[in-house]
Structure formats: structure tokens, C-alpha cells
Amino acid sequence: EQKNRISLGLKQLQPHPWENVKEKYPIGQRIKGKVVSITDYGAFIELEKGIEGLIHISEMSWSQHVKHPSQLLSVGQEIDAVILNIEAEAKKISLGLKQLEPDPWENVEERFPVGTTHRGTVRNLTQFGAFVELEEGVDGLVHISDLSWTKKVRHPSEIVKKGDEIDVVVLGINREERRIALGHKQVEDNPWETFEEKYAEGSETEGTVAKIIEKGVVVILPLGVEGFIPNQHLGLPKGQSAKDVYKEGDTIPAKVIEFDKENHRIVLSVNAYFKGKEKAEWEEYMSSHGVEKTTLEEVARTSSSEEPAADAADTEGEEKKTL
């Protein structure tokens, strides 16, 4: 027996909640809602029965420290939020939490003028530099080249670590792209003016071996600046390498054969240092490094048959390869 049925609806007695939703929730309006669910990418907020909006994780804080929405919100929590966007046909509402507070990048140039010094916290390290938080929501980058006047920094971790509080100088601001260029070395005066006098070409000094690389030895000079001694200027006997004769921590006497203030490079020579000095002094020096008796002339002949000194770019590249 055929049955006749009529389908009824209860919800249709009430207006559809998404009707006139744009009029009810204008963009920019501050509203109240309840957190009904949390995901990795955000939190869903019930504005009224049948209408939910999403606060994406990127809209929760002006800072970059929120890794999961549960750090700020919990299910059942009543919160305030701001309407950012509405797609009525798709039944989507974008909400913002951070917009309840002023954007810290507004008037950032007034709070952090170029040339001023500030204290910040190192929040992250990359191959090319260190990100430093000046205040919540405002980070700047100290490029690796602006970390030290005196060292060839291979990685920022050689100078700073996450969590360190450091002084920085504001070098430049791009508010539209939310970028601030910072300098750490600029907190101090450029010491290369002093280095130019102390390490003029022809001056004699000594350095402590900091690193041995394929093309020579990196030394730390008395004022804390790095210098480089190429293999052919190390006084190496034929058939021996820098690692055969020297080790980290050794003290090496040397003469400056090149000083480049612009490119922050000092090149030295052991051979040039001992040239013109007493033969016994040379022999005593080589003996102290476990080298059999050899003459400076023999070393010079060996050196002249080797490749010429590497320029700064080659030297720095070689150091990076050996790390």
C-alpha cells in the first residue's frame, strides 16, 4: 500500500542565520564568541547558533612566537575578536585576535629611528644572520656580515645564541615589508682605523693559530682581529703541510704583507718575518715545531714553485668548505 508522506522542517521557522550576515557582522567590528574547536592552523569561534568563524594562527599574535593555537586559546573559552573578511556564499568568516591590539609596526620609525641603539633578544639563527626581537611583534635581522668587525663569521652561532640579549643599532627600516636591518658590530667604533696603523704592510707581529684550512692558517692577532697566512708563507719544508707543522693554539711570528681596510683582510708571512734575521733564530723556530734542519732559502725555493697566494674570496670560500 502506497504511503503519502510530508517532510517538515523545524529550523525553517527561524530566519537562516547566514542571511544578511554582512549587515550583522561588518568588517572591522569587534565581536564576542566561544571557542568550539582548535586545529593546528587555527581556532573556530561560534558567533551565534549556525555561524562560526576561523581565527587563523597567523592572526592570533603580532609576534611570531605562537606555534599552536592552544598556546593562547582553549575550547569553551569566551573571547573577543575582530571581523576581517566574510564570504557569505561559502559560509566563511575570517576573524582576528591580534587586531584587538595596535599594530606594533605603526610608527615603528618613531620608536626605532635609524642610527639608534637598542637592546633585543635573539629569537632565531639562520645561515645568513640572527633575528632579534626589539619588542613583541617587531623583529629585525642582523646580517652575518654585521655581527663582528674582527672575525670572518661562518655562522651566527659563533657570536650569539638563541635567547641572548644583545645591543644592536638600527641600520634601516622598511615598514611596508615589515623589515628592520640591524647591526651588532656597529655598537662599537670601526676598529679598522686602528688596525691600519698597527698592522701596516711591513710591520711585524705574532698570531695565535685559530684554524688550519687547506690553503693556509687563520691566526688571531693581538688586537683580536683575524689574519691569514697562506701555505707558501708558512715556512713549510717541501712535502709537509700546515697540519704537519702547526696546531691550533700555536704562536706564529709573522710580517704583514698585505693590509686591505675596505675588505677587512690582513695577510701575513712567516718567511718575510725571518728574512734578514739570524740563521740560528730561524733554525730554532723550525726546531720548536719539530721540523728537521732546513734553510730559509730552501723554503723560499719550495714556496716559489707553489701556486700564488689565494685572494680573500678564495680563502673565505675554502674556509667554508672545510667546516
The DSSP line for 217-250 is: EEEE-TTS-EEEEEGGGTTPPTT--HHHH--TT-
Q: Which domain holds residue 155?
A: 108-187
Residues 62 and 162 both lie in one domain: no
Residues 122 and 150 both lie in one domain: yes
- The larger pLDDT score, comparing residue 305 to residue 196, is at 196
Q: What is the pTM of this model?
A: 0.67
Residues 205 and 294 both lie in one domain: yes
Residue 120 lies in a domain: yes
Output the pLDDT for position 10: 61
Specify whether the backbone of 184 is left (phi greater than 0), alpha (psi in -120 to 50) or beta.
alpha
pLDDT digits (tens, 9 = 90+) for 258-287: 999 988 999 999 999 998 888 888 888 888
Residues 201 and 318 both lie in one domain: yes
Which of 53, 80, 100 delimits the end of a domain? 100
Residues 45 and 76 both lie in one domain: yes
Residues 172 and 152 both lie in one domain: yes
Residues 196 and 318 both lie in one domain: yes
Mean pLDDT of 148-160: 92
Residues 16 and 124 both lie in one domain: no
pLDDT digits (tens, 9 = 90+) for 31-63: 999 999 999 999 999 999 889 999 999 999 988
Residue 5 lies in a domain: no
Which of 150, 171, 187 delimits the end of a domain? 187
Residues 260 and 238 both lie in one domain: yes
Residue 6 lies in a domain: no
Structural domain tally of the chain? Answer: 3
Residue 4 lies in a domain: no
DSSP symbols for 256-293:
EEEEETTTTEEEEEHHHHHTTS-HHHHHHHHHHTTPPS
| pLDDT surpasses 60 at 309 | no
| pLDDT surpasses 60 at 303 | no
Residues 174 and 211 both lie in one domain: no
